[in-house]
Structure 1
Amino acid sequence: MVRRDLLRVAGATGLLMGLTGSAPTYAQTPAAGAPGLASIGGSPIDLVIEKVAFAVDGRIGSAVAMNRTVPGPVIRLREGEDAVLRVTNRLEETSSIHWHGLILPPGMDGVPGVSFAGIRPGETFVYRFPVRQSGTYWCHSHSGGQELLGLYAPLIIDPAGPEPFRYTRDHVVMLSDWSFEPPEQLLAHMKSLPSYYNYQQRTVSEFFRDARRDGLGAAVSNRLDWGRMLMDPTDISDLTGDTYRFLMNGLAVADNWTGLFRPGEAVRLRFIDAGAMTVFDVRIPDLKMTVVQVHGQNVKPVEVDELRIAPGETYDVIVRPGNRAYTVFAEASDRSGHARGTLAPRPGMSAAVPPRRPRPTRTMADMGMDMSGMAMGGGAMGADAMAGAPPAAAGHGGMAMPAGNAMPMPGAIPGPGLPGGPPVAHGPDTHGVGSSSVAMVERSRLDEPGLGLGGDGWRVLTYADLRSVAPQPDQREPGRAVELHLTGNMERYMWSFDGKKYSEAPDAVRFRYGERIRMVLVNDTMMEHPIHLHGMWMELENGGGPNQPRLHTVLVKPSERLTVAITADEPGRWAMHCHLLLHMEMGMFRVVEVA
């Protein structure tokens, strides 16, 4: 080894040792709980945005950090008080902080170009707003690819009164994804070849397996159908473990974040998906999880073995571990990798890491071709009706709708998308070149656990399970409906609402102040999309009646028709977008204006 190489290695080793001490308190191993930067009686919290070196798996990259850590520190506010957060930008570009899920004035929401101008280099912006809620939330940049580069942090709001559940230990578990490739390079690869990072495509051996199981004709037909769709059934995630390292509280698998507890304690785990592009499936083998809060809102307890969490979502669970170590396992939904941590009564303990499950494949339901419950007339319908045929063929075709399932008359308000409700045929609008396909059949999928889940013999949380602890304050029936289709063209890597990118769309979706609206979200793509509405709650119409849950982000499955009720009680301009960062950047973004 020459002297130059020796100095390089020594310098890198010293930098790594320095970086270890810069991890936020809740990420240090072992972590005893979730302290943080607290605002007491309206005292200000100072946050600084800057670039730092960041080490993952012994390799050093460049991150955009909050107070020099990735994730940033836990920010703690208190319900009923005023929050004052002074954010200084030390980057050479405009930055911002969006307080995800918080109800606050539009000028404090932190979306450049919608509600404020952004924080210019060298400037300090003071966020000041009343805290009107409690629970687990988070914050992140809404500027370019900074969120993908590490600019996010947990946000906990302590309630003004007692909570409806008890616990003695409190841990933040923030999940995220990290790539050493810069955001512009990731996007360039997706634009040039949408399957660039997908190394889990179907093989010849799988074709013969399917032929033995289903018959040669069915196996050939399935391949031809997917070929006409111009999409691979293994396209689960755009960015995979080929480029990503999956992190738990900023730590890679080998670093093994550890949360301590005393045997017999009730431990609260605050799961936050801060991933830019990753949906995680979370479980703790041999330990039941009782879900008590979703998106900061208290729900009636539900005991489960596993839950799916999408970018932007938060789930709080209570666990009661015994005198042993447990693995906290967060598996990417495409099974290309995982994040891992440990719950243990003593430092240095660990438990077995579950083996990787087989990657799933898309189904007929994901293609929008599941005709069960539909009356058919005028001949069979194949995938060419959606992709290879002329646009007119992608609508109703020869499908005769069963009684009670007809498309609503002009001016009528469609019913809620309740679990088990009847399927609905897609209308004649194919959304133009911005949409490569439509879901010929759209249906509620609220009671489905999600692709790749539900076949392991344990209980998986679904949206249909959620019930608010307290009845919602506005019990009015919606007075009108707004229908939005989630659309995309995977070959061109374009994403949109109703076939139009944000740059092509009308100025805003308009709500009248005080009105009650039913928003109908129809996913015409074959990928899941977590849709986030800023500034207002979405009440998920899942059959809960007065106790339907309030969410700020809803994960819409392929070919799903999902409805939410919204009370337009916050005047201003608000962002609404897919929380998969590259989908938002490529056009799946709109402005909702309440006036």
Structure 2
Amino acid sequence: MDRPPPDAALLTRRALLRSGGSLAAGLALAPLFPAWAQSGTSGAGLGTTGLTIAPGHAMVGGRAAHHAVMVNGTIPGPLVRLREGDVARIAVSNRLAEPTSIHWHGLLVPFQMDGVPGVSFPGITPGETFAYEFPLIQSGTYWYHGHSGMQEALGLYGPLIIDPAGPDPIGAEREHVIMLADWSPLHPHEQLRRLKIRAGYFNRRHQDLAGLLAGRDQPLAERLEWARMRMDPTDIADVTGATYAYLINGHDTAANWTGLFRPGERVRLRIINASAMTNFNFRIPGLALSVVAADGNLVQPVETDELQIAIAETYDILVTPTEDKAFGVIAEALDRSGQVRGTLAPRQGMAGDVPALRQRPLLTMRDMGMDMGGMDMGGMDMAGMDMGHGGVIDLSQPANPAMGGHAMAMRDKRAAPQVAFGPAVATIAPAPVDRLADRPTGLEAVDHRVLTYAQLRALARNPDGRAPGRQIDLHLTANMDRYMWSIDGQTMADGAAPIPLREGERVRMNLINDTMMPHPIHLHGHFFELVSGEPGHRARKHTVNVLPGGRVAFDLTADAPGDWAFHCHMLLHMHAGMMRVVTVRRAGDQA
């Protein structure tokens, strides 16, 4: 293999000073931003196909980190832009002192090119270059990122666009890539250590007396019920704005990333959530958003005012600004502990408005999987029901008349016989419901249109119309107090067996979220169809956000032999155990 020179792409203090004071509020990597991410650009521009991964330094808002990982000397990495029908040949060189990798998120590639060390290839050792090569059999908006350790959270990510072989059916006059991210000077391994000590370490927004008196928070009686269960309705996000800065194309609000337009143009925004731990609520006040693609696949256009984009998802939207003014591009963290504002404007130097953060959301009984078909839960006696993050509801108790005879034994193995019960599983939701038509967390009561999964319909007819031949239930499990995450109570570190599929079979997978947090679940190497609405044009995705206490069903055609990672895309959840392998074997192959 080729060995690159040993020098690392470190940003020196001299180079930092040369970058100018105007950059102090944003990443001190600029003007080393890749061309596509620079402020004031007219569009996405051309891409590159040679990538070098190296250590670096980064600064956001005056807070520095010396543990950054750069691609070609920048964060985010350069745009990789290719064409459907071609063969991609991408050389990735490792100048880190540790192994690395690149996963092509959402691309249908041979499993040996998928880029997951220990699953599909050995990884790229220090000083070596790995040549990825695969045919491009799709088009759309995707991205790439590291799949080694915590490198993704340190800056190893960038956009990936595959242009269609023929005319683009979306037909916009201009386009911009908008890559959302979270960034912290605190190393993700240290974040994980602190969460292991106290699961709510980064939650600085608990309910207080002022919130009670102002009517912003739960009434006292309801608070006492949650306290008896040892649960916290403000536990929305593990890592929050207490340590994170939120970024658009590497820029924070003060740095004001700006994308240009001419009034009246149809502008395509390719939105990618490359965060480690943050789901974003995305909106452009004053502009309607027409959603035209999800996870790279075209959908029948849906007009909305706001959407929640989970970690690892992509959405293509069209906007048509007709006024000669600046519009704020707003990405607000799910828990509303912070946000980032970019700008769409007819000229450089303009800035969109920065709205006030909206009220912090609160979890409900529905988020605990305890929505018993609209029954009045307020009068239910929760006394003695130990449901804390480290505890359980005692399902050995008799059925509760207040719940229509439903027993609430959270560890009743009859409810989930495949779950490996133990210290890693604190709760099993007693009544999970399909939440694909629900507005996502925090947007339930806003007074404008909000996108739901149930609104997404594929533009083209689904390629496989067969009914599933079997079903597989998979529980998303946790002991949140101990910051332990798993699938069916099992982790790969504990020897969890692969999920076996046969090539060509049609399977329905039911994801059941037994935790009080959302989980963006990603399957490598495949698209699946969300079971929502009539068959034929169900949305095809590679990542789906399973709401707390909810369930999601998707139909999958196992058409790609090999071993494929299947995991929560919240990086700390995956790292702590919420990951499995799906193995697709040809007939006659050994399982």
Length-normalised TM-score, structure 2: 0.89
Report if the CA contact (8 A) 1:111-1:118 is conserved: yes
Q: Counterpart of 1:52 in structure 2: which amino acid?
A: G
How far off its partner does 1:15 sit? 5.8
What is the alpha-carbon distance in structure 2 between the residues aligned to residue 195 and residue 233 of structure 1?
12
- For structure 1, which segment, 474-483 or 365-374, has the greater mean C-alpha deviation from structure 2 after superposition? 365-374
What is the alpha-carbon distance in structure 1 between the residues aligned to residue 107 and residue 15 of structure 2?
43
The aligned residue for residue 280 of structure 2 is 280
Which aligned pairs between 1:351-370 and structure 2 lie closer than 5 A? Answer: 351-370=352-371
Change in Cα spacing, 1:476 to 1:383, as seen in structure 2 (3 Å) is: farther
Q: Counterpart of 1:551 in structure 2: which amino acid?
A: K
Change in Cα spacing, 1:70 to 1:213, as seen in structure 2 (3 Å) is: closer
What is the alpha-carbon distance in structure 2 between the residues aligned to residue 127 and residue 389 of structure 1?
47
Q: Over residues 329-348 of structure 1, what are the superposed CA-to-partner deviations in whole Å (9 max), with x where a residue is unaligned?
A: 00001001111110001111
Which aligned pairs between 1:163-242 and structure 2 lie closer than 5 A? Answer: 163-208=168-213, 219-220=220-221, 222-242=222-242
Q: Over residues 486-522 of structure 1, what are the superposed CA-to-partner deviations in whole Å (9 max), with x where a residue is unaligned?
A: 0111110000001122212432000011100000000
Change in Cα spacing, 1:484 to 1:30, as seen in structure 2 (3 Å) is: same
The aligned residue for residue 52 of structure 1 is 56
Q: Counterpart of 2:396 in structure 1: which amino acid?
A: A
Q: What SS is found at the alignment partner of 1:491?
A: helix
How far off its partner does 1:384 sit? 1.4
How far off its partner does 1:101 sit? 0.5
Q: Counterpart of 2:73 in structure 1: which amino acid?
A: R
The aligned residue for residue 516 of structure 2 is 526
What is the alpha-carbon distance in structure 1 between the residues aligned to residue 359 and residue 295 of structure 2?
30
Which aligned pairs between 1:343-492 and structure 2 lie closer than 5 A? Answer: 343-373=344-374, 384=385, 386=387, 391-393=394-396, 426-427=415-416, 431-492=421-482
What is the alpha-carbon distance in structure 1 between the residues aligned to residue 327 and residue 87 of structure 2?
39
Q: Higher helix share goes to which structure?
A: 1
Q: What SS is found at the alignment partner of 1:517?
A: strand
What is the alpha-carbon distance in structure 1 between the residues aligned to residue 152 and residue 306 of structure 2?
27
Matched, 1:61 2:61: no
Matched, 1:259 2:259: yes
Q: Counterpart of 2:78 in structure 1: which amino acid?
A: P
How far off its partner does 1:349 sit? 1.1
Report if the CA contact (8 A) 2:341-2:352 is conserved: no
Report if the CA contact (8 A) 2:211-2:217 is conserved: no
The aligned residue for residue 34 of structure 1 is 44
Count of aligned residue pairs for this structure pair: 553
Q: Counterpart of 2:496 in structure 1: which amino acid?
A: P
Q: Counterpart of 1:201 in structure 2: which amino acid?
A: H
What is the root-mean-square deviation in Å for CA atoms of aligned residues?
2.4
Report if the CA contact (8 A) 2:95-2:127 is conserved: yes
How far off its partner does 1:563 sit? 0.2
The aligned residue for residue 496 of structure 2 is 506
Q: What SS is found at the alignment partner of 2:423?
A: helix
Q: Over residues 192-235 of structure 1, what are the superposed CA-to-partner deviations in whole Å (9 max), with x where a residue is unaligned?
A: 11111110011123345569985xxxx33x33432344431111
- For structure 1, which segment, 138-147 or 426-435, has the greater mean C-alpha deviation from structure 2 after superposition? 426-435
Which aligned pairs between 1:289-308 and structure 2 lie closer than 5 A? Answer: 289-308=289-308
How far off its partner does 1:36 sit? 2.9
Change in Cα spacing, 1:430 to 1:56, as seen in structure 2 (3 Å) is: same
The aligned residue for residue 330 of structure 2 is 329
Unaligned runs of 5+ in 2: 1-11, 407-413, 586-591
Q: Over residues 238-293 of structure 1, what are the superposed CA-to-partner deviations in whole Å (9 max), with x where a residue is unaligned?
A: 11111001000011110000000111110000000000000000000000010000
What is the alpha-carbon distance in structure 2 between the residues aligned to residue 396 and residue 537 of structure 1?
41
- For structure 1, which segment, 534-543 or 102-111, has the greater mean C-alpha deviation from structure 2 after superposition? 534-543
Q: Over residues 361-386 of structure 1, what are the superposed CA-to-partner deviations in whole Å (9 max), with x where a residue is unaligned?
A: 1001011221125799xx96778175
Matched, 1:116 2:138: no
Q: Over residues 121-161 of structure 1, what are the superposed CA-to-partner deviations in whole Å (9 max), with x where a residue is unaligned?
A: 00000000000100000000000110000000000000012
The aligned residue for residue 247 of structure 2 is 247
What is the alpha-carbon distance in structure 2 between the residues aligned to residue 352 and residue 211 of structure 1?
25
Matched, 1:557 2:547: yes
Report if the CA contact (8 A) 2:228-2:386 is conserved: no
Aligned-pair identity (%)? 50
Q: Counterpart of 1:282 in structure 2: which amino acid?
A: F
Change in Cα spacing, 1:283 to 1:546, as seen in structure 2 (3 Å) is: same
Match of 1:19 among 29, 32, 38: 29
What is the alpha-carbon distance in structure 2 between the residues aligned to residue 207 and residue 121 of structure 1?
55
Matched, 1:149 2:139: no
Q: What SS is found at the alignment partner of 1:223?
A: helix
What is the alpha-carbon distance in structure 2 between the residues aligned to residue 554 and residue 382 of structure 1?
35
The aligned residue for residue 573 of structure 1 is 563
Q: Over residues 540-595 of structure 1, what are the superposed CA-to-partner deviations in whole Å (9 max), with x where a residue is unaligned?
A: 11114100011000000011111000000100000000000000000000000001
- For structure 1, which segment, 516-525 or 386-395, has the greater mean C-alpha deviation from structure 2 after superposition? 386-395
What is the alpha-carbon distance in structure 2 between the residues aligned to residue 478 and residue 368 of structure 1?
26
Report if the CA contact (8 A) 1:111-1:142 is conserved: yes
Change in Cα spacing, 1:162 to 1:241, as seen in structure 2 (3 Å) is: same
How far off its partner does 1:467 sit? 0.2
What is the alpha-carbon distance in structure 2 between the residues aligned to residue 394 and residue 69 of structure 1?
57
How far off its partner does 1:19 sit? 3.3
Q: Over residues 86-141 of structure 1, what are the superposed CA-to-partner deviations in whole Å (9 max), with x where a residue is unaligned?
A: 00000000000000001110000000000000000000000000001000000000
The aligned residue for residue 311 of structure 1 is 311
Change in Cα spacing, 1:481 to 1:11, as seen in structure 2 (3 Å) is: closer
- For structure 1, which segment, 193-202 or 110-119, has the greater mean C-alpha deviation from structure 2 after superposition? 193-202
Report if the CA contact (8 A) 1:26-1:35 is conserved: yes
How far off its partner does 1:437 sit? 1.4
Q: What SS is found at the alignment partner of 2:133?
A: strand
